[in-house]
Structure 1
């Protein structure tokens, strides 16, 4: 009898069905994990760029996460970057570099990056970048009188760089400086005809006085003594001709090299920049981890990851249609993220 009563009681107990867990909300572009991955990506990009300037994060356009295991996931980022005023050879930390303003003719970078987060550590697996100066028309709408970027091999730019560097070398008591590359060139025609230039330099094994005797013998310092720097200059051609130049050497930085230090840089231009207005990340940035096959695999993976993310977003939107209390403020959309500087 006791056994029968116990059985009846068990049958009368409420049956609780297992409720499947709700899918995780999609990772937002401004979430801490996304920003941490973007920081790793930007540092990697700047660390493997050989020409031009450092880039800062302006916006995370998209983020997708594909779980690979209990403690392993792939993160795919689409990033918008902006050029800073720090040359790529500068030791200045990125957080202390000033982003070039819109009216200074901004250069925007776009990068697709594949990362892995394994046991909490984020690393870059592959990346693909491109950068381009904003259009002259966009600059003109905001600042009609602002000078705009011209081709790096523009005749007046080459003339101004040569005149500025010669002027500096003729007055310095330090080492003779040799041109590494031209970074930027702009020409203003009114009210004065002025050519403004920026260019990277390297110290040679000659003093400025020794160079006057035999400049052909002056070679860049060897890698274990290298000393790179940066110059800004302007050449006024009308109404009065004048040259202004300022150069700064950074001092020896162990491990920092210039990609074309062993080549003839008398023109100050890598072949890939001839005819361009800016150093394109697609050409000046080298990703040692990425190959054609890994890049193809990266984009295939990104495409296969998109439907998963879209479904998660759709489900989150569906759940958000339930009645909310008065005063409820819905969360911001997961992507794209906030603009840190300005939109181009």
Structure 2
């Protein structure tokens, strides 16, 4: 009898079907996990760029996560970066580098980065970047008198760089400095004609006196002794010529090397400069490594197209925010992407 009662109770017990585990919510561009991935990506981009300046994160435009298995995700990021005042050879941490202001004729970098998160560790598999200067019309609209970026092979720019380097070498008893590359140049015509230049330098194995006797024998120091530096100079061309130069050597930095172009660098110019470029393009200076993941160089087409869509969405939201709202209006929550803008949008 007891066995019969137990059987009846078992029959009437409620059955519980297996409920599949809920999928994690998609990452928002401003989530801590997204920020962490972006930080790794920016560090990687700066660490693998060998010309121009360090770039800082301005916004995360899009993020896509594709699970690959247990504790293994592939992450696609779209990043908007801005050029800083720190040359890529500078030992200054990125956190201490100043983003160039809008009126300094800012340069924006767009990057698509593919990362892997394996057992909680993030690593970059591949990246594609390019950079561009802000439009001259935008700068002139905000600051009509601000000088704009000049071509790095402009005759006046080359004259100013040569004069500045000769002036510095002529006033020091230390190592003779040689030009590595011109980083930036601007020319102001009114009310005074001024050429402003920034350029990277390196110490050679010659003293200034030895260079006077035979400059052709002066070579850059080997990698294990290298000493890079950076110069800022302004040269008044008219009405009276005047020159101000400030050069700083960083001291030897173990592991930091300068990627030499495939031709004579006595002029400090890259092939891109000869074509009249005004800034060192990330696409030209950044090389993707051989990734450990088979499809590391592939990016989904939807991701490559999303950047322009995201930028249009930001503009549309900004336009809608100008429309008067009724009393008690509660704005909708921000979209998952793009994320917050840390500095300004070009």
TM-score interval (norm. to shorter):
0.7 to 0.9
Kindly indicate whether residue 64 of structure 2 is the aligned counterpart of residue 38 of structure 1: no
The Cα shift of 1:172 comes to: 1.2
Change beyond 3 A, Cα 1:327–1:144: closer
Alignment of 1:169-184 (within 5 A): 169-184=169-184
**C-alpha distance in 1 between matches for 2:132 and 2:329:** 44
Kindly indicate whether residue 341 of structure 2 is the aligned counterpart of residue 339 of structure 1: yes
Structure 2 match to 1:242 = 242
**C-alpha distance in 2 between matches for 1:176 and 1:185:** 23
User: Secondary structure at the residue paired with 2:159?
Assistant: helix
The Cα shift of 1:225 comes to: 1.1
User: Secondary structure at the residue paired with 1:297?
Assistant: coil
Structure 1 match to 2:201 = 201
Kindly indicate whether residue 254 of structure 2 is the aligned counterpart of residue 254 of structure 1: yes
CA contact 1:126–1:298 (8 Å) conserved in 2: no
**C-alpha distance in 1 between matches for 2:303 and 2:332:** 28
Structure 2 match to 1:65 = 65
User: Secondary structure at the residue paired with 1:250?
Assistant: strand
Which sits farther off after the overlay, 132-141 or 258-267?
Answer: 258-267
**C-alpha distance in 2 between matches for 1:330 and 1:70:** 35
Cα deviation, 1:48-85, whole Å, max 9, x if unaligned, reads 10100011111111111111111111111001111111
**C-alpha distance in 1 between matches for 2:302 and 2:115:** 12
**C-alpha distance in 1 between matches for 2:49 and 2:281:** 10
Kindly indicate whether residue 98 of structure 2 is the aligned counterpart of residue 98 of structure 1: yes
**C-alpha distance in 1 between matches for 2:226 and 2:162:** 22
**C-alpha distance in 2 between matches for 1:196 and 1:302:** 39
**C-alpha distance in 1 between matches for 2:97 and 2:116:** 27
Residue ranges of structure 2 left out of the alignment (5+ in a row): 305-327
Alignment of 1:163-312 (within 5 A): 163-260=163-260, 263-274=263-274, 275-289=276-290, 294=295, 296-299=297-300
**C-alpha distance in 1 between matches for 2:195 and 2:153:** 13
Cα deviation, 1:255-297, whole Å, max 9, x if unaligned, reads 2111117842122111123211100000011222369x85653
Change beyond 3 A, Cα 1:284–1:23: same
**C-alpha distance in 2 between matches for 1:261 and 1:125:** 25
**C-alpha distance in 2 between matches for 1:208 and 1:182:** 21
The Cα shift of 1:14 comes to: 3.1
CA contact 2:59–2:341 (8 Å) conserved in 1: yes
The Cα shift of 1:193 comes to: 0.4
**C-alpha distance in 2 between matches for 1:273 and 1:166:** 21
User: Secondary structure at the residue paired with 2:205?
Assistant: strand
Structure 2 match to 1:315 = none
Cα deviation, 1:23-55, whole Å, max 9, x if unaligned, reads 321111111111111111111111110100011
CA RMSD of aligned residues (A): 2.3
Q: TM-score, normalised by structure 2?
A: 0.87
The Cα shift of 1:206 comes to: 1.3
Residue ranges of structure 1 left out of the alignment (5+ in a row): 304-325
Change beyond 3 A, Cα 1:189–1:66: same
**C-alpha distance in 1 between matches for 2:217 and 2:143:** 46
